A = this chain, B = another copy of it.
Amino acid sequence: MKITHKGDYALKAVLDLAVHYDEGVVTIQAIAKRIDAPSKFLEQVLLELKRGGFIESRRGKIGGYMLSKPPQDITLGEIIRFVDGPLEPIACVNKGYADCHDLHTCVFRPVWQKVFQATSAIVDHVTFETLAREVKASENIPTYSI
């Protein structure tokens, strides 16, 4: 698994919407500013997430985005897979991979399978409800940083 900037933005955007889930729609600009992403690039990411059914939008003057489902029904894993592709470290983990010279005797494959399964196990049971709660908790703690 490799998280690109695009994937990173997508995850942070969904998290932002999760944090503001009870407050109606949120604009691209507001999200972009908070997650420190280029707004035009974020635009495309949000559009993609919308087409994937993860978020909904409202157009017009007081438009913006909101989650299609409550935060507890969205996992980190689904967003990553959707935006950055499969979690497998190499394509041969899926059957039907034509480039592998000898699929049956490839001794690396079981290792990649294990990595894939361990990764999935982690990201597929982290929900945005959990993450949003952590954000809110840390926001309430004064930092006293310089």
Spell out A's residues near B (CB within 8 Å).
1-3, 8, 11-12, 15, 35-36, 76, 89-90, 101, 104-105, 107-108, 111-112, 114-115, 118-119, 122-123, 126, 131, 134-135, 138-139, 143, 145
Contact = CB atoms under 8 A, between A and B. Distances in A.
A86 B101 CA distance: 26
Given A101-B36, A118-B119, A119-B119, A76 B111 contact: yes
B126 A111 contact: yes
Contact of A108 (B36, B90, B131, B145): B131
Nearest to A114: B122
> How many identical subunits does the complex contain?
2
A146 to B, nearest CB: 13
Chain A interface mostly: helix
A122 B115 contact: yes
Given A2-B1, A2-B2, A107 B134 contact: yes
B118 A122 contact: yes
A69 to B, nearest CB: 19
Contact of A135 (B11, B89, B107): B107
Contact of A105 (B111, B118, B135): B135
Q: Which of A76, A107, A126, A139 has the most CB of B within 10 A?
A: A107
